[in-house]
Structure 1
Amino acid sequence: MIVVGLLADKGMPALIAQRLIDELPDVLTRQLSNRVEWQVHARCDPLLLDENGLIPMLDLADRQKPAHDWDVLVLLTDLPRRAGTQPIVSDYSTSRAVGLVSIPALGACRVLQRTRNLIVHVIGHLLEEKLGLDPEPRRHSPHGRLTGWLGDVLAPTKHIPSDDDGIDMHLALIGLRGRVRLLAGMVRGNRPWRLVPHLSSAAAAAAATAAYGLMTSNFWQMADALTPPRLALINVVAIAAMATWLLTYNRLWERPAEPAEREKALLYNLSTVLTLSIGVACMYAILFVLTLLAAAALIDSGFLQVTLRHPVRVGDYLKIVWMTSSLGIVAGAIGSSLESEEAIRKATYSTREQERQARTRDQTAVMVPL
């Protein structure tokens, strides 16, 4: 019998681990070996970072495997990992029977399926000699890309040697497509739609402004005079304005102190900008729907026709709602100044990394005798 332990970060990694523990034994039996019995256990525990910003996977293996009688340990993290400047999907240590999976590197789509397949790939690599597995399905082709099912579900990847003691190799993302997939995975990992509940003050300011515009005939005439392309431009500018305000007011833009950190900072900044933009867009969509319902209930079609001086259609209501919702979002940027800075900052990877490093330092300080 082989016991596999999944040690997952809180949040998405923990949810994925819990959903996989029931199906993984059958998948391992089918894809790796039916000569042994597989058991899969999962634990949720924050994977803290060391002073170098790395997950100490070897130390975790030395502590967690004996403590829980695990034969193999796979770490699941929601933080992007790098080897130098190369973004990596996973790490392997055959000697310690431990591997690491960086979920953001799997992209934004079919994350559960890709995580399952990568876990099987990692376990197969770690137990290759013990189970007498054929290594070819897990080796990269002469072009440096994985073949078979793993290559189908991952961005372009290749194994690269590791300079870290005890780590055999990394599975790295290569090329522009790989970095785009990592960025998409980071944005999904930030779960931008969850920003909306933390923007209650901004939403209140936006709703109040939209309501005022909805009840003001001058806004109706202005919206009627604007073309759809111009309304769309106002919409985009409004979302960009609020996202920019959140970015600057909460000091979320990273400025790397060292040139070597520029690529990492660029990636983190892009993910933050996209996260805020999508979060604001979600708030805009909710505001638009609510304003549309209010317009249908409050604006009499006859009175609107008299004001606009032409027959009223559904499109006229939509243009008014479009205009007032966009202005509401601009006002929401001012209201966002009242939001909890901590709640918004936690939607960024750099903040979460710094918090984990701080917790590691705190734990180390407690362990040092006075």
Structure 2
Amino acid sequence: MTEIKVGIIAAPSFPMQLSEKLSADLPSTLNRALEQDITWNFQCVENPLIGSAEDVNKSLDFAKSIQDEHQWDYAIVVTDLPIVEGKKVVVGNLDEPMGTGLVSIPALGFIRVKQKLKQCLLYFAETVYLYHNEQDKTKRNLNLSLFTRIKPEHTILDEKQENDMLTEDEQEEGDQTSHSKTTTKFILSPLIISWILLLAGMIRANQPWKEIPNFKKIISLSFATATYLTIFSTPWQLSIEYSNLRFIFMTTLAIGGMVLWIMYAHSLWEYPTTMTTRTYRTVYNITTVFTLLIIIVLSYLILFALLMISVALFVPNDLYNMSTSNEGTRTIAQFLYLTWFVTSLGFLAGALGASVENEQKIRAMTYSYRQRARYEEAKRWEASNYYSSDDTNNQSQSHN
């Protein structure tokens, strides 16, 4: 029975989690699609050095080196970095002769990411298998259906371009088999929808709901401030007098002010540098703002739920009627309006001076911070390889 080893080189955190969950289901699905009995062996390897967003195409070359190291037949990179070329959003790259592929998770959007990634991995593995076994590709049974049209674009390197990609040793030996002449890029379209999917996918990759524990300090201080305010009668009367528009304005001010404060206090905004292009920098900042906005809104809702208990305990109905212009039994609407009022006031007044629980984790939530970390690791990795190769050459010359 034929055995094929496929390596999945995943970025840390979300890409690695998805890859590990999918690896067990891929072999049976592939055999059904190919109508063959093949032993597929999928192995997941976590590696942060799969390239930066600006140089993401080099990930295929890096994947080839890891593929040779582990003696895999094929290698597929799964990254949480976006791929943008011009104004086009790229879902992934595929080099069939080399047996390497690349999938960008952000391009898969916000929902059904797991199913979409599974489709990509299966499609890439089937395509490379059909290519290397010289079978008719029109018999392919797996498709890429991502709710939008994906357009494959083939890039053919001429002999000069291919020769420039080779090392000096390969050029001297005439080894032209180690690099492919054709690569395929999968472009997401239409244009507007593709950018919406990209931003939504980047927010999804950040997993903002998992960052709520890092905001415990902010929620606790806001709760203490708002609970203190509930014992005074002035907020009771104001909650009756204020209009819905004013309540919405207070909520917007509280949430927006918190977002701006966290961005400023923890330096989450990406400024122009030589490390990132303008396109990626803009995408990173938009993603950071919306990711933080989701976290703050969830924290606000948690605070609202906690204060409902506080208002019910500390604001008796008789005292409420005596201290306000309300007559009769306090209604549920008045109860909710009072909770809404103290939530916005406590969130704005009590939490603006607070900091998050773990600043390092909050910064790691942003793409720009992860990019800088990858640049530094990549430089250390290249330096270690450079010096190790120098040592090997020196030992070889000394031996000769």
TM-score by length of 1: 0.88
- SS of equivalent to 2:354: helix
Specify the alignment match of 2:314 in structure 1. 298
Shift of 1:23: 0.8
1:6-21 correspondence to structure 2 within 5 Å: 6-21=8-23
1:140-159 correspondence to structure 2 within 5 Å: 149-151=143-145, 153-159=146-152
Report if aligned partners of 2:103, 2:120 keep a CA contact under 8 Å in 1.
yes
- Measure the CA separation in 2 of the matches of 1:112 and 1:22: 13
1:53-68 correspondence to structure 2 within 5 Å: 53-54=55-56, 56-68=58-70
Specify the alignment match of 1:141 in structure 2. none
Larger mean CA deviation between 47-56 and 324-333 belongs to 47-56
- Measure the CA separation in 2 of the matches of 1:77 and 1:137: 29
Tell me, yes or no, if structure 1 residue 331 matches structure 2 residue 324: no
Shift of 1:184: 0.3
Is the alpha carbon distance of 1:133 and 1:270 closer, same or farther for their aligned partners in structure 2, counting shifts above 3 Å? farther
Q: Percent same amino acid at aligned positions?
A: 29
- Measure the CA separation in 2 of the matches of 1:50 and 1:78: 10
Report if aligned partners of 1:5, 1:41 keep a CA contact under 8 Å in 2.
yes
- SS of equivalent to 2:116: helix
Report if aligned partners of 2:50, 2:59 keep a CA contact under 8 Å in 1.
no
Q: 1:123 aligns with which of 122, 125, 150?
A: 125
Amino acid at match of 2:188: L
- Measure the CA separation in 2 of the matches of 1:133 and 1:105: 30
Tell me, yes or no, if structure 1 residue 191 matches structure 2 residue 207: yes
Tell me, yes or no, if structure 1 residue 354 matches structure 2 residue 349: no
Larger mean CA deviation between 48-57 and 4-13 belongs to 48-57
Shift of 1:56: 3.5
- Measure the CA separation in 2 of the matches of 1:256 and 1:134: 49
Shift of 1:53: 3.9
- SS of equivalent to 2:49: coil
Gaps of 5+ in 2: 166-179, 391-400
Shift of 1:7: 1.6
- Measure the CA separation in 2 of the matches of 1:365 and 1:319: 61
Report if aligned partners of 2:53, 2:82 keep a CA contact under 8 Å in 1.
no
Amino acid at match of 1:315: A
Amino acid at match of 2:67: K
Gaps of 5+ in 1: 139-146
Report if aligned partners of 1:74, 1:98 keep a CA contact under 8 Å in 2.
yes
Is the alpha carbon distance of 1:339 and 1:37 closer, same or farther for their aligned partners in structure 2, counting shifts above 3 Å? closer
1:1-370 correspondence to structure 2 within 5 Å: 1-49=3-51, 53-54=55-56, 56-136=58-138, 149-151=143-145, 153-162=146-155, 166=180, 168-174=183-189, 175-257=191-273, 261-308=277-324, 309-311=326-328, 312-337=330-355, 340-369=358-387
- Calculate the aligned-residue CA RMSD, in Å: 2.6
Q: Runs of at least 4 residues of structure 1 off by over 6 A?
A: none
Report if aligned partners of 1:48, 1:357 keep a CA contact under 8 Å in 2.
no
TM-score by length of 2: 0.82
- Measure the CA separation in 2 of the matches of 1:121 and 1:51: 23
- Measure the CA separation in 2 of the matches of 1:338 and 1:168: 45
Report if aligned partners of 1:90, 1:100 keep a CA contact under 8 Å in 2.
yes
- SS of equivalent to 2:38: coil
- Measure the CA separation in 2 of the matches of 1:154 and 1:318: 40
- Measure the CA separation in 2 of the matches of 1:48 and 1:336: 36
Provide, for residues 11-32 of structure 1, a one-character-per-residue CA deviation record: whole Å limited to 9, x for no partner. 1111111111111111111223
